[in-house]
Structure 1
């Protein structure tokens, strides 16, 4: 399943686009949403989607400025522009950044399906090439070693600074390259892996100690216990307190 970052400042339009992408097409899922270009750039500094679908006119950082920044980070990342303005001047500027397509609102479902089908073919070809290259003995030894080092650093510094910049410095790599490498080698984003490790450690501490929830939050890298509890409930399906009660009852 290819992951999509959806950037649109109108909530109802964004929800409609998400439904079209996930139910009207095959092989794509909206992994994240942003209301404007500024939010999208913040997300892209630590994550790498497979496709970006963005409006062209938004507050703070508009679509064209966003695309320019994206191209500085990810040269070949597919981008689909969506706009309510049939302004060829904007289309020309968008094409300069090598966008995959330029669609006008209201979105024609068949046109969107056709566009995403073409993009999926390109992504499938690139994925097959990566898989073939990775099957060659020894071809990715160094990359795998780097990822092992990054994972070890994460496990050893759960209560510390695990920003992408910090992880990249630990293995002397560019942050954007490390993000791409980690996803290529593991199939998941760095932040998702960090969250999984932190939640696993949190569950262990809840089960094996009587520490307060706010102490456990700090030990696994969350300065805000409220944020920790929100993430824990989202990832585990229950609050830390409920998990502790359940784990304790299973020991009886």
Structure 2
């Protein structure tokens, strides 16, 4: 989840609500500016984007529209002090998913996430399991954005730097430097990051065997997947999944 708000206290309160909800498994990336938010969006598509309209470097409505140009199915939620009807209309016309007022209540936020986030997470699992093999069209004017899109779509394949650089019509060496400059990660680091994010989602939201998840996230063997996962996350895939299993069990007992 990407949270964009210039108010540090508001970000803290939002994160606290999420931490105390059933969505506490979500990683929250925070940004106080639109520029930083766009950088994070280029790195990885979040499951949901939450924005305040009062940002220091860009109008929040414009930022949301820009995000939807990048990811048309991204749920965008406005959380703001501004109560003007014209802004609500602008948000609706922009295709945003919700408009919430501060001070934010846990009930309002959780209810909104139930409506917009759960279907998106379910769709991610379905896309992973039913991934098509159609071609991907590259935008030659934006080679790194095209490369990121290719990685997001084909991370489950045996993907190499040369494969992607060829598709955006750049030499491997130039592509490698350009990719690192724009994303802050090397090609290998970014590919591993995407694969780990997808694997964590599948571990949390499905009961698929580890071997199947390994295969669907681009790893040749379950053993190599487990080793790589522990290196990046700090737990084995089974240990990571068990954390959420016990949380769910605890909630069931309390209920």
TM-score by length of 2: 0.55
Consecutive unaligned residues of structure 1, counting only runs of 5 or more, are 168-178, 190-233, 237-252
Question: Do structure 1's residue 163 and structure 2's residue 160 form an aligned pair?
Answer: no
C-alpha offsets along residues 76-125 of structure 1, whole Å, 9 cap, x if unaligned? 11111001011111011011121111100111210101111122331243
Give the alignment of 1:4-83 within 5 angstroms: 4-26=1-23, 28-83=25-80
C-alpha offsets along residues 170-208 of structure 1, whole Å, 9 cap, x if unaligned? xxxxxxxxx99x94897279xxxxxxxxxxxxxxxxxxx
Separation in structure 1 between the aligned mates of residue 134 and residue 123 of structure 2, nearest angstrom: 20
Separation in structure 1 between the aligned mates of residue 119 and residue 156 of structure 2, nearest angstrom: 29
CA distance change for structure 1 residues 38 and 117 in 2, over 3 Å: closer, same or farther?
same
Q: Is the 8 A contact 1:20 1:109 kept in 2?
A: yes
Number of residue pairs matched by the alignment:
171
Consecutive unaligned residues of structure 2, counting only runs of 5 or more, are 136-153, 166-171, 184-189, 201-231, 235-255
Q: Is the 8 A contact 2:61 2:91 kept in 1?
A: yes
Q: Is the 8 A contact 2:3 2:49 kept in 1?
A: yes
Question: Do structure 1's residue 149 and structure 2's residue 165 form an aligned pair?
Answer: no
Separation in structure 2 between the aligned mates of residue 186 and residue 17 of structure 1, nearest angstrom: 22
Matched with 2:217 is none
- Aligned partner of residue 6 in structure 1, secondary structure: strand
C-alpha offsets along residues 133-152 of structure 1, whole Å, 9 cap, x if unaligned? 14xxxx54984686522398
CA distance change for structure 1 residues 96 and 17 in 2, over 3 Å: closer, same or farther?
same
Matched with 2:88 is 91
TM-score by length of 1: 0.56
Backbone CA RMSD of aligned residues: 3.9
- Aligned partner of residue 177 in structure 2, secondary structure: coil
Matched with 1:106 is 103
- Aligned partner of residue 102 in structure 1, secondary structure: strand
Matched with 2:115 is 118
Separation in structure 2 between the aligned mates of residue 162 and residue 146 of structure 1, nearest angstrom: 23
Separation in structure 2 between the aligned mates of residue 145 and residue 63 of structure 1, nearest angstrom: 34
Q: Is the 8 A contact 1:7 1:40 kept in 2?
A: yes
